Amino acid sequence: MAETSVFARILDYANRADPYPLYAELRETPVLRVDGRYVVSTYREVVELLHDPRISSIREEDVAGGGPSDGESLPGLPPAFIRRDPPDHDRVRRVAMRHFGPPRSPGRVESLRGALSEIVTGLIDGFADRTRVDVVDDFAYPLPVTAICRLLGVPTEDEPRFRVWAAALVEAIDPRAGEATQRRRVEAGLELRAYLDELAEARLRQPSGDLLSALVTDDGVEGAMSRDELLSTASLLLVAGHETTVNLITNGMLTLLRHPAELDRLRRDPGRVVPLVEELLRYEPPVQMLPQRTALDDIEIAGTTIPKGATITLVLAAADRDPGHFPDPDRFDPDRADKEHLGFGGGIHFCFGAPLARLETRLALSALASRLENPRLVADPPPYRENVALRGPRHLLIEFDGVAPSPVT
């Protein structure tokens, strides 16, 4: 009973601000059976299962119910590739990657650097007549939202509409989500589906240089995505393309303010942001757990048999604080030698948008560190979002004495 209560306490919002002591308790049983699911929390075991082909991203209830019931897919459509298994996963992801990264489109993300720098500069310039801002609402949210809109070709003026849809979809990822949450997800998903379908049709008639145009006009040797697959992919990129990055940037600023020596080092040495962001992904990852995986066969791991058909939860954030893999894991140390964190997951579902998230977060934290004069927290801990899987502050109020001019580049 005591062991079962550990995971229940992790799910409890009262512990959202600091779940790490509970993760340490959870790791005492590397594979813990809780209410019919198997919770895996140690680094070696989580990595093993991330790469195990006997672990499926498709849930049995989704198949039985005729469609996905998670926040990463739209109702009435096939699951996004993050919710598919090979070979379908591999085919759809390859088609999407042709237009997003190497080898065919190696410069798409890097080509956004100038625009992203301008967005960052403009947002911080807007702080000039203020001494207090909310890092979330005033910076960490508008930056990745503007970026993903430009990347996909979604009009930024439509942001208020898809912000509501995205919130409803993300809420459904939480393992505590109930029937009311799922109803909101379905309503939001149907509206987002209709919106993206209309946008895709417009791009088909008049393509531009954005990612959605590239996907809808794709004529590659592997064949194009179906319209339904394209809509699922566009939804995944639009929602996941900003939600997790908001948390990563906010967690990053919170961590720096709690570690003023590291903030000062970053201010003096902007190049330090590269290892700093990697350590941040380990230390305060925006994706804390993958709550829904399914065993396709009996799996023996860490002295436990996970039976075929069982639901598996992989607690990435607990694995990344495992002292069996990372020495002194509760210390924030950008100079740490081992950078093999699980902040972007692993295996075939390694985060598709990792290059963009890294670039956005590096630019964001470097600029905040260099331009805000004497920044400090208003409240610690800040209020957190409800979601246990995608963890980050709901608001992060900071005060500062002034804003330094943007450096001339």
Place of tokens 């979330």: 136
Contact indicator for 40, 301 with CB cutoff of 8 Å: yes
pLDDT digits (tens, 9 = 90+) for 224-234: 888 999 999 98
Residue extents of the structural domains in the chain: 59-283+348-403
The Cα angle at residue 139 between residues 134 and 144, in degrees rounded to 5: 140
pLDDT at 382 exceeding the cut of 90: yes
3-state secondary structure of 289: coil
Least confident range from 44-58, 75-89, 283-297: namely: 75-89
Confidence (pLDDT) at 76? 74
Whether 391 and 286 have beta carbons less than 8 Å apart is answered as yes
Between 317 and 82, residue with greater pLDDT: 317
Does pLDDT of 73 surpass 70? no
Higher pLDDT, 408 or 76: 76
Span 121-147, average pLDDT: 96
- CA separation (Å) from 138 to 120, 134, 144, 147, 238? 11, 6, 12, 15, 20
Q: What is the mean pLDDT of residues 118-129?
A: 97
Reported as a single tens digit per residue, the pLDDT across 198-220 is 999 999 999 988 999 999 998 76
Average pLDDT over residues 388-398: 96
pLDDT (0 to 100) of residue 351: 92
Could you report the per-residue pLDDT of 244-257, keeping only the tens digit for each?
999 999 999 999 99
Task: Name the residue among 375, 120, 391 with its Cα closest to residue 256.
Answer: 375
Q: How confident is the model at residue 2 (pLDDT cuts 50, 70, 90)?
A: very low
Q: What is the mean pLDDT of residues 132-138?
A: 97
Examine the pLDDT at 365 and tell me if it is beyond 90: yes
Residue 1 has pLDDT above 50, yes or no: no
Give me 335's structure tokens.
């100079």
Q: Give the separation between CA 342 and CA 325, rounded to whole angstroms.
A: 12
The whole-number average pLDDT for the span 364-386 is 97
- CA-to-CA separations, 4 to 9, 12, 115, 300, 305, in angstroms, rounded: 9, 13, 48, 21, 17
Sheet architecture: strand order including 290-295: 31-34, 37-40, 311-314, 290-295, 55-56
Q: Is 260 a residue whose pLDDT tops 50?
A: yes
Q: What's the pLDDT at 179?
A: 78
For 59-283+348-403, CATH gives 1.10.630.10
Cα-based angle 146, 273, 163 (whole degrees, multiple of 5): 20
pLDDT at 72: 55
Instruction: Flag whether pLDDT at 239 surpasses 90.
Output: no
| pLDDT value at 163 more than 70 | yes
The percent of residues in the chain predicted with pLDDT above 90, rounded, is 67
Q: Is the pLDDT of residue 66 over 50?
A: no
pTM of the model: 0.91
